[in-house]
Amino acid sequence: MALTFSTNLTQQDWLSLSPMPHSLLSLPWRTWLLDKGSLTQRLKDLSNGEFCVQVTHTGSARASLSEARTLGITTRSVVYVREVNLCIREKVVVVARSVIPRSTLTGAERQLRVLNNKPLGEFLFSHKHMSRSSIQIKKGRVDHKLMWGRRSIFKLNNKPLLVSEYFLPSLLDANREALRP
């Protein structure tokens, strides 16, 4: 599924509230969206070995205004974009978009361009010098489906990349299935 964002979603501000009000973000979404650990690992644990990454788009592009502001770059800057589907039992449960400035793609971080179907989360959370900003959230439509999204900046050796993840309702279905005896 390629990312097609509704105008509603792209124009809505990202929220960065600490603590996040329960009235805004209730269980079970709260546990998924605010988790600071590896989403990849959590999905793998949930999938019983039936997790995969489907790359839907990679290449050079320009960041959106919101992405550029968050990364502290100009909207004219060319970035590397990677869009993927994260799947459990062949069902898409998360749609993700990573925006990586060219200046980040140096040294060991050049590997980010050739991940193919390998999870970005494994690379990020195994990196010796990784830090992560606070998580921002928003609710909107992607591919005509209402969903929650989150994003944060990861820094690898102090070089930034922005990761946005959109959680589909099918994730809650997979979560319920995993809890069944």
| 43-76 residue pLDDT tens | 999 999 999 999 999 999 999 888 999 999 999 9
Concatenated DSSP letters of 24-88:
TS-TTHHHHHS--S-HHHHHHHHHTT-EEEEEEEEEEEE--HHHHHHHT--TTSEEEEEEEEEEE
Q: What is the pLDDT of residues 99-118, one digit of tens each?
A: 999 999 999 999 999 999 99
Domain ranges of the chain: 27-179
pLDDT tens-digit map of 73-86: 999 999 999 999 99
Task: For 81, list phi and psi in degrees, rounded to 5.
Answer: -115, 135
Second CATH level (architecture) for the domain 27-179: 3-Layer(aba) Sandwich (3.40)
Q: Residue 6's pLDDT is what?
A: 44
Whole-number average pLDDT of the chain: 87
